[in-house]
Amino acid sequence: MGFPEVKFRIVENRRCPLYTYGDTFCLTGIAIAMKSSDDNSCITTSVVHTPSERKSCKILNADLTRLIIQYERGDKIPVCMISCSGCTGSVRLEHNKDDILSPQEGEAMLSDELSSMMHLLSGFAFFKSIDQSNLDKVMQFFRMKTFNPGDVIIRKGEVGGNFFIIASGCVNVLNEGGIAISTLNKGDVFGEMSLICNERVSATIQVKEQASILYIDRENFSKIIERYPTVQLYFSRMMANRLSKSNTVRSADLSSGMIGNLSDIPAEALFQTLNMNTKTGILTIQELSRGTARFSFRQGALIKAKYDEISGEEAFYEVLKEHNGRFRFTPGIPPDQFETPEIGYFMKLLMEGMRRLDEGRSRSAN
């Protein structure tokens, strides 16, 4: 019996000399007949396919090959995370049986309408963030709908369910009083914040001129973000630009230090501003429910986190729950932190933290 193809993706990189975050490895097995005078039998040998243009690592290959032994005992490959045993660095790889995009309403083919628009759509910023060889695969999970002037696509306070891209036409962003505060045009996106941060829709979107809108559901949106790190980077940059435009004074203050309150800027926005502005320094947050928290950033990467008796990524997750407290960002870190490994890839930490917040709110509601 052969071994089905299984994919593992790097979700954490600690100074690995060969690979980087998001690299994918395909593990396959081949049944080889073993003939002898006594009987005929077969064994399974593994083949590890490394990312293109990357060197093969014997240590990592050996770690992955151990899964073949597990499979030979009759076990199924579980949804799991494994760690490379490492050399000068190390990586963590994740296998998820659900890491496959699922067509909406059973459709697995790119519609004729979308096929005819591929040239136009491929020029949109979102689709530019996806490798050309994968563009068709991603596009087939989008649907298209036409809206007339005055139609409301999403309404402030609703639970976000889809991510939208404007293929043609334009829409208005309305405030609580129903007044248009900005206009989104062809190629612009909306609805992503409610999905990424697991929050309710923050603004009403109403069609200004007849518009054709691409949309994809929450499940497939999450899988695209997980599968394509460049899409994560696209959203990180976009969210940082929005923060910068909405609060230029705060962004400028980061160069010399910054103070403020979590009631004015949520913890997730504060962390993300430091990350996307590639700041180096120490963020101290006082007057929290458990006391004081301290976080060290190096070029935007989170390298140390401490809150009460909690440290590491769990400290990061706990502070995301806080709504009140005073913070101060001080540029610069001690020399002994120049080589400190990252706690984890920032966008993955943020998305996991927001997922936990959403689960906590759901349990409280029940």
| CB atoms closer than 10 angstroms to residue 193 | 19
The reported pLDDT for the residue numbered 294 is: 96
Give the C-alpha separation, 15 to 208, whole Å: 49
- How many residues are given for the chain? 366
Q: Which residues pair with 301 in a beta bridge?
A: 298
Please list the residues that pair with 24 across neighbouring strands.
Answer: 9
What digits encode the pLDDT tens for the residues 147-195?
A: 999 899 998 888 888 999 998 999 999 877 677 788 999 988 998 888 8
Low-confidence ranges of the chain (pLDDT < 50): 1-3, 30-44, 73-74, 104-109, 248-256
Q: Give residue limits of the domains in the chain.
A: 3-95, 104-238, 247-365
**How many CA atoms does the CB half-sphere of 6 hold within 13 Å?**
25
DSSP alpha helices (H): ranges in the chain? 58-72, 112-116, 118-121, 125-128, 135-139, 192-196, 218-227, 229-246, 248-253, 267-276, 313-320, 346-365
Cα within 13 Å of Cα(277), Cβ side: 24
Quick: pLDDT tens for 19-54.
876 677 777 654 434 444 444 444 445 567 777 667
Beta-bridged to residue 283, according to DSSP, are 295, 329
Cα–Cα separations (whole angstroms), residue 123 to 135, 162, 211 = 11, 21, 18
Question: Contact, 319 vs 307, CB < 8 A?
Answer: yes
pLDDT at 223: 82
Q: How far apart are CA 48 and CA 28, in angstroms?
A: 7
Residues 315 and 319: their CA atoms lie apart, in Å, by: 6
What per-residue confidence (pLDDT) applies to 342?
Answer: 92
Q: Show the CA angle centred on residue 255, arms to residues 253 and 316, nearest 5°.
A: 85
pTM of the model: 0.43
Hey, CA dihedral for 170, 174, 180, 183, is it positive or negative? negative
| Residue 300 · residue 278 · CB < 8 Å | yes
Domain formed by 104-238, architecture: Sandwich (2.60)
Helix axes 267-276, 229-246, angle to 10 degrees: 110
Amino acid 336: pLDDT: 81
Per-residue three-class SS string for 72-121: HCCCCCCCEEEECCCCCCEEEEEECCCCCCCCHHHCCCCCHHHHHCHHHH
